[in-house]
Structure 1
Amino acid sequence: MSEKRRGIQSVEIGGRLLSALMRHARPMMLKDLAAEADLAPAQAHAYLASLKRAGFVEQSPETGRYLMGPFAVRLAMARLRTVPAYREVIAAATRLGTELGLMVTVTVAGPQGATVIHRFDGGETLNVNIRMGTVYAPGDTATGRVFAAFSEAGSADEGVQRCGYAAVNDEPVPGVSAIAAPVRAASGELFAALTLVASSARLAREEDAGKAARGRLLVICVEAEAALAADELAGAKDDSPGTLRRRRS
């Protein structure tokens, strides 16, 4: 029984260290991380060694500071994909990518900024480093510009707000272009962004051929918003007093 208690306590202590990293959302020194988790530095170091081996944390070779590791990021992304609302948006991205044969990403607000939680690969081989957990800078990319324009913490980009999307050509990667558009929750707040990523030549051909990749992106985003609103309405009905009484009976 004591072994079982020690095992549970070890997980809880590891959780305290991970919670501290999550709250600060930046690389932390051992002494600061230990203080935040209410541990002695030597004790924190031992737990962090195990968390490093499991991929929950990693340590910068330059500074020695600790940050969330790749397994922790994948675990968080997997958790998001189990939530019905996120599944709706991912399904919308998959429909769009399948229809156009282009890469589509789903990005949501994370502790460190706009973070990719899903990538649908199109038919092109692109020289881009986009994966689950990629964080976009606010102004350098189409996705970052959408978050800057439509999130509460973002700066107002009237051009993006007016047309309802952001586009970049040949930047930040030469030869690659992207178009991003917001998916809003029923409250009107930014829920996610869908982004088409393709070679500049391919994206230009899509538009010139009348397939209107940008138009399809905007339509799919509206469909995703309708699905989110329907889910929210269904959830509200499920939580109504009458429904709760029926469940109890």
Structure 2
Amino acid sequence: MSDEKPAKTQRRVQTVETAGAILRAFARTPQPMKLRELADATGIAPSQLHPYLVSLRNADLVEQIEGALYTLGPFALELGLARLRGQDAYPEAIRRIGELAEATDLMVAISVWGAHGTTIVYVRDSPKLIHSYVRPGNIFQLSLTATGRLFAAFLPVARTDALIRAEFEALESSQSAHYGIDEAWFRDRLETIRARGYETTTDIPIPGVSAIAAPVFDHTQRLQLGITLIGPSPAVDMHPNGTAITRLTDFTEKLSADLGYYREDTGADR
């Protein structure tokens, strides 16, 4: 007979969870709502919603405007700002990427936009060692790498255009031409990246090495980090519904949400 004690069931307060569902509905809707609209969003009958709204209004978590419309109140804003002050993209990403590396069995790189372009700032190695020279301080090319194209897609054009043009001028007779990449193809590719939310490369620019990159946004709707999975091409599942892409995009979407990002469109302010 096992000596292990059964896991203790934690007590739950249903009214608090219901209030949380109401606040979440407000957070997901950009405009004020009528009582019926809130009922439809939460699945809670209007007659049941009303006393919750009275209590939430008393706590300044909800306010009533223009008579019949409800929206988040000033204390909800205070809570949101307190949450954002305690969150920072870079340390949060470092804290979490160990699980991503273990789940995918691939190298994970964190990149930011620096003075010279897309710059690697942190690398979590994989048991499957690869000779890709991916180290902090390295610069990802904008035209040839998944991470570079990711930043080119989601940063404002004014920040990237000069580097993109300079890179194509420098590479016109060498690597870009070798891989069949020209500026017209590149510009079209950026639209694809914005639409699907990630980028991939296979055997480019390093033969035998593939990568998948996805963005991390913050509460200002701006790109803060790129998270890239890197590994031997046979080990990287490139199927859109495969483990690597699914795990990576789940990771970046969760981190972005925790940083206050709310997806209203698919790109930066362009």
TM-score, length-scaled by structure 2 = 0.51
Deviation of 1:85 (Å): 3.0
Q: 1:116-165 deviations in whole A, cap 9, x for unaligned?
A: 11101111110101111111111110000101100112466101101111
| 1:213 paired to 2:217 | no
- Which residue identity is paired with 1:92? R
In structure 2, what residue type is equivalent to 1:144? G
Select which of 81, 90, 93 maps to 1:89: 93
What does residue 185 of structure 1 align with?
218
Q: Which has the higher helix share?
A: 1
Q: Deviations over 1:94-113 (max 9, x none)?
A: 22112211100000111111
Structure 1 residue aligned with 2:195: 162
The secondary structure found in structure 2 opposite 1:229 is coil
Q: Which runs of 4+ in 1 moved over 6 A?
A: none
Which aligned pairs between 1:28-47 and structure 2 lie closer than 5 A?
Answer: none
Tell me what 2:231 maps to.
Answer: 198
Higher relative CO (Cα under 8 Å, sequence separation at least 6) belongs to 2
Contact 1:92/1:221 (<8 A) preserved: no
Amino acid at match of 2:136: M
- The offset of 1:195, in angstroms, is 0.3
Matched, 1:106 2:113: no
Q: CA offsets, 1:227-249, max 9 Å, x none?
A: 2229xxxxxxxxxxxxxxxxxxx
Q: Percent identity?
A: 33
Count residues with an aligned counterpart: 146
Question: Which structure 2 segments of 5+ residues have no match?
Answer: 1-86, 162-186, 262-270
Deviations 1:12-53 (A, max 9, x none): xxxxxxxxxxxxxxxxxxxxxxxxxxxxxxxxxxxxxxxxxx
Give the whole-Å Cα distance in 2 for the aligned partners of 1:186 and 1:84. 11
1:117 aligns with 2:148: no
* C-alpha contact (below 8 Å) 1:88/1:227 kept by paired residues: no
TM-score (norm 1): 0.55
Q: Distance in 2 between matches of 1:88 and 1:211?
A: 25
Hey, what does 2:258 align to over in structure 1? 227
- Which residue does the alignment assign to 1:30? none
The letter of the residue matching 2:204 is: E
Counterpart check, 1:137 vs 2:170? no
